[in-house]
A and B are shown apart, each in its own frame.
Chain A
Amino acid sequence: MINYLKNIIKGFSTILVGMKVTFINLFRPNVTVQYPNVHPLVRAGSDKMPDNARNKLNVIIPKCTGCKSCEKACPVNCITIETTKVASIDTEKPLMEDGKKRVFWLSQFDIDFAKCCFCGLCTIACPTSAIVHSTDFEYSCYDRNELLVHFSPFNKEQVAEKKRILAEEVKQKAEKALADKQAAEKAAQEQNITDSKIKSSDDQTSANQNIQNNSN
């Protein structure tokens, strides 16, 4: 009998506790964002996204070394990168964001967001954190091609120009190497008169290496 009454009182009081909880919640500020009318970032008062939010990708070109790790990491192959070596005769002396000398121009850096599955593996692979998730999640469009985003800072002419400069340099180097080689051969012939044969063959191999390096 005592248990029975205790049970009743317990049941009743727990209901009151529950009602208290819901009553407090009734007057707490709600968490809904009226999304199309109010952007969630505006409501949050910053560009803060949840820590694990995986939105559209953004490439910070000044940070990107062009190592192509992201391209390899991507499971759906939606990143296409083409790099062009910075020619030493180029008048432009580009620097990385951290002040180091840039080695590659990013002549092409495309991400196809129609394919991207937002796994975020590319952001993990990137050694310089150049490829990151942005806070933009609303980029639906009417044409699928608009989802192919070009991150390269160059347009076609600029890319062609950079390629031409590089080719010129390669040509110059090749000419120089050829000239070097000829000069070396000449010297070797002159030296041949006095020195042994072995030395001249040494010179030749080093000249060959030089040519290979330049044409790289």
Chain B
Amino acid sequence: MENHQFLFNFISEYTGDILAGVLIAIIPLALLLVYALVAIYGELKIASFIQLKLGPMRTGKWGLLQPVAEVFKLLQKEDITPDGADKPLFNLAPFIIFLGCYAALSVLPLSSHFAPSGLNIGLFFIIAISSLAVLGIVMGGWASNNKYSLIGAMRSVSQIISYEIPAAMCILGVASMAHSLDMNVISAQQQGGFWNWYVLGGPAGISKIWLIPFTVVMFIVYFVTSLAETNRTPFDVPEGESELVAGYHTEYSGMKFAFFYLAEYGNMFVVSAIMTVIFFGGWSSPFGDFLNSPIWQIFWFIAKSMFFVGLQIWLRWTLPRTRVDQLMYLCWKILLPLSMVCFLAMALGGMLY
């Protein structure tokens, strides 16, 4: 599978390897920024529509420029570093969180012919790199020298570390069925229609039917854990503004806050993209070979990922925040056993097919 190198080879023929590498590295960043604007706008609008309101309407037609305006607002704000803060850690934290999100984007195969970096242990890389977010949150919470920040950071760490276990189980389950950790390979295996997606048991023909309940439950488990890992409602206890002001980013303002914000939305996309790759066929078209050219594949990938981002937004405006103990109960007593059982079934499936 050297296909993903297509774009890199194409560009480097004209510019040389180093410049091509830089250009390729910019693509996910540009994607992330554009996506963040769309997601923020979508979040504002969906939130308002669910509450029978209109949402932003003054900035541009239907408030389309609202996210841009918010970015400019954040740019203009004073960048405050509290006196008692640990300055280097405090300033570094938002960038580390953002780094985790950006690095995770680098292995996502947008199309069979393009992944910014075609790592053959992509899934493993993503599990590893998403832990960077925890580091950033702890740094931010500790360096702020603020009790609310610290409590928020502590909650966040316990939450993310706990939920990483069922999440890893889900990813491993699919990896054992796909016999691969390469996200491009996993996507390629699911070609040929939605029937071959791993959420419906994978590409094993009719005999895989007994697997379907397990894979569906596995998908739901992964979806729930992904919500927790991105600190989204109903699992946003680290930010819980009714208890902790704003949690670990209480003391942040201006551009550094914007990075936290961007990372949150970026992480939403990353977990949605992982979900797309491991359960919903990645870039492959849901209709077999229909509309399955490399360009269309980018469309499918983004559309599927955005669907899950939308689902997360929808859930956010449906459910209230969970209590901390309920959060832990859900993780250790429900999601973990469920994912274990499903993992066993999927491992068996992986051995059979």
A interface, CB within 8 angstroms of B: 8, 12, 15, 18-19, 21-23, 25-32, 34
Contact = CB atoms under 8 A, between A and B. Distances in A.
B15 interface: no
B54 A30 contact: yes
Contacts of B347: none
B334 A25 contact: no
Interface in B315-348: 315, 317-319, 334, 338
18 contacts: A8-B334, A15-B315, A18-B318, A19-B315, A19-B318, A22-B50, A22-B317, A23-B314, A25-B49, A25-B52, A26-B46, A26-B49, A26-B50, A30-B49, A31-B52, A31-B53, A34-B54, A34-B57
B317 A32 contact: no
A6 to B, nearest CB: 12
Contact of B48 (A23, A30, A34): A30
A163 B66 CA distance: 64
Given A8-B334, A30-B49, A22 B318 contact: yes
Closest 6 CB pairs of A and B: A32-B54, A22-B318, A18-B318, A30-B52, A22-B50, A31-B52
Contacts of A23: 314
A180 B349 CA distance: 125
B46 A21 contact: no
A26 B318 CA distance: 11
B315 A25 contact: no
**Interface residues of A: mostly helix, strand, loop or mixed?**
helix
Contacts of B53: 30-32
B207 interface: no
A50 to B, nearest CB: 17
Contact of A25 (B50, B57, B220, B319): B50
Contacts, number: 40
Contact of A19 (B314, B334, B338): B314
A38 B52 CA distance: 17
Contacts of B315: 15, 19
Contact of B318 (A8, A15, A31, A34): A15
The residue among A8, A12, A21, A28 with the most chain B CB atoms within 10 A of its own CB is A8
B60 to A, nearest CB: 15
A73 to B, nearest CB: 39
Interface in B28-77: 46, 48-54, 57
Contacts of B317: 22
A22 B314 contact: yes
Nearest to A29: B52
A152 to B, nearest CB: 43
B314 A25 contact: no
A18 B318 CA distance: 6
